Amino acid sequence: MRYAIIGAGMAGMLAAIKLLERGCRDLIVYEKGHTIGGTWRENTYPGLTCDVPSHSYTYSFELNPDWTRTQPPGHEVQAYFEAVKEKYGLEEWITFNEEVVSCVYQHGRWQLKTASGRQDSADAVIAATGVLHHPRYPDISGIDAFQGAIFHSAEWDHSTPLDGQRIAIIGTGSTGVQLVSALSTRASVLTHFQRSPQWIMPVEDRAYTTHELARFKNNPDVLQSLHYDEELESNIERYTAAITNPDSEAMQEIETIVADFLAMAVTDADLREKIRPDYRAACKRLIYSPNFYQAIQRDNVEVLVENVTRIEAKGIRGADGRLREFDVIVLATGYKPHEFMRPMNIVGSNGTILNNVWRDKPVAYLSISIPDFPNFFMLNGPNGPVGNFSLIEIAECQWAYIEQLLAELETGKCQEISATQQAMAEYEHARVEQAKKTIFASGCSSWYLDSKGVPATWPWTRRDFKAAMQKPDLTHFLTVGNAMNRP
């Protein structure tokens, strides 16, 4: 069999490594960028940090003794993936600067075409395009009128000076919070425009000592214990149990922690009430930060909880009518998380067009397979547990599941395999009904919600997800033909 992997980020690299381990040598990875890394390649803004603890944010088969901090800085994450690429010889299998623009299933094979005009075919496709890779630009009047530097956080302009500058940050997700923390000590004036405040969860972010780093290098058991840290595992299980049951004790504990952190860390009563969210904790994805509250209390920092009225040549006019002048405006306004492989043109069997299937919202059986798209599998696809726990762990669980479907093809049991329409419909109905009961549906706007306001995430616990990924129920899949007759 020939495999095509779309994307050389964390998940695409995982798929390539695992296929090579299976002895597959007829594979290609198409990457639209100039190197691997996905979102960690694209994002280079000041303060970039992964909110999963360092030693948990690695492949289970490639632990990393070189993390320097308890929370991994973005450049170290990218360096880790670059090192993995080198160790496993992935450069040989990756074609860079080739963006796949169409993927059409014809005569039992997938026909791929790239933006440069290159054409290829494969028996199976692994879509590892990621979730957060299409920057979302805000619809603000006058955005093109600003005469200073203005750019999205995912397209950072490193030629723009920051020290001593008047800087505005629009957006209050993880990126906005990290930027405020990082730039509050560098800007002469820093104004943070928040459309809606966020609950902040305290987290430790400290440098590892020389002694600790030596232990990581010299004792593999220490790395294993950190990767599978019992306390962290327990906290993750409790967190996923909490978000699936808003009335649970675990959720009440989360709400107490973030409320106490706000009360303790922000001494000014007016500021504290200004940034107190009017929705329940974890309704939006929880933000982890050790120093955001400290940053916003600096004399040079102003927080505005209001929509931006318009951008003008000299700066931003807020809801109060006042024009605040800036040298730099950063758009920390997130991504389009429901795009996935799009705008790629993907056509399955019988001419089924993915854009039509996903006209209302993206769906996939267990976030992996789509009916009428045979031998096409997704890692971190629609409705997965994004934000619930480490994306690497999610991808590894999903790959273990996908491998079992690939075995049906590789052993000649069938030529085509994809989820049935009935399995998709029953799964999506159950998922939607459960999603409506989660904390994500408790009354806030967030990127988790689909066009109908239903959380587009895995609505059950982490333990449930791992159980679902153990073994495919092949009665939920349509299989066609004998793979020995593959053209």
**pLDDT tens, 378-412?**
999 999 998 767 899 999 999 999 999 999 999 99
**Residue 69 backbone zone (phi > 0: left; psi -120 to 50: alpha; other: beta):** beta
Burial of residue 210 (number of CB atoms within 10 Å: 0-12, 13-18, 19+): exposed
Task: Pick the closest to residue 388 from 460, 450, 317 (CA basis).
Answer: 460
State the pLDDT at residue 388.
62
Asked if 164 contacts 190 with a C-beta cutoff of 8 angstroms, the reply is: no
How far is residue 58 CA from its own chain's centroid?
15
**CATH class assigned to 136-198+284-334:** alpha beta
Read off the pLDDT of residues 442-455 as tens digits, 9 standing for 90 and up. 999 998 899 889 99
State the residue for tokens 């790239």: 114
Q: Which of 26-30, 174-178, 451-455 has the lowest mean pLDDT?
A: 451-455
Q: Is the pLDDT of residue 482 over 80?
A: no
Kindly state the percentage of the chain with pLDDT values over 90. Answer: 90
Ranges of each domain in the chain: 3-34+96-134+336-485, 136-198+284-334
Fold match between domain 3-34+96-134+336-485 and domain 136-198+284-334: yes
Task: Pick the closest to residue 476 from 408, 388, 390, 384 (CA basis).
Answer: 408
Provide mean pLDDT across the span 242-264: 96
Provide the terminal-to-terminal Cα distance of the chain, rounded to the nearest Å.
Answer: 11
Q: Which residues contact 455 (CB under 8 A, 6 or more apart)?
A: 435, 436, 438, 440, 441, 448, 449
Rounded to 5°, angle at Cα 351 from 13 and 353: 60
Task: Pick the closest to residue 465 from 363, 396, 376 (CA basis).
Answer: 396
pTM of the model: 0.95
Buried b (16+ CB within 10 A) or exposed e, 404-437: ebbebbbeeebbbbbbbeebbeebbeebbebbee
Q: Which amino acid, 24?
A: C
Residue 178 neighbours by CB distance under 10 Å: 27
In this prediction, residue 234 has a pLDDT band, given cuts at 50, 70 and 90, of confident
State the pLDDT at residue 338.
85
Read off the pLDDT of residues 82-141 as tens digits, 9 standing for 90 and up. 999 999 999 999 999 999 999 999 999 999 999 999 999 999 999 999 887 789 999 999
Q: Is the pLDDT of residue 436 over 70?
A: yes
- In angstroms, rounded to a whole number, what is the distance separating the alpha carbons of residues 37 and 270? 42
Residue 164 neighbours by CB distance under 10 Å: 11
State the pLDDT at residue 483.
47
Read off the pLDDT of residues 133-159 as tens digits, 9 standing for 90 and up. 789 999 999 999 999 999 999 999 999
Asked if 151 contacts 157 with a C-beta cutoff of 8 angstroms, the reply is: yes
User: Quick one: 3-34+96-134+336-485 is in which CATH superfamily?
Assistant: FAD/NAD(P)-binding domain (3.50.50.60)
State the pLDDT at residue 170.
97
- In angstroms, rounded to a whole number, what is the distance separating the alpha carbons of residues 230 and 234? 6
- Whole-number Cα distances in Å, 23 to 10, 26, 27, 265, 483: 20, 9, 11, 54, 18
- In angstroms, rounded to a whole number, what is the distance separating the alpha carbons of residues 294 and 184? 9
Dihedrals φ, ψ of 403, to 5°?
-55, -35
State the pLDDT at residue 87.
98
Asked if 380 contacts 387 with a C-beta cutoff of 8 angstroms, the reply is: no
Q: Is the pLDDT of residue 263 over 50?
A: yes
Provide mean pLDDT across the span 8-14: 98
Rounded to 5°, angle at Cα 121 from 119 and 123: 165
Burial of residue 156 (number of CB atoms within 10 Å: 0-12, 13-18, 19+): middle
State the pLDDT at residue 484.
45
How far is residue 466 CA from its own chain's centroid?
19
How far is residue 18 CA from its own chain's centroid?
21
3-class secondary-structure state, position 92: helix
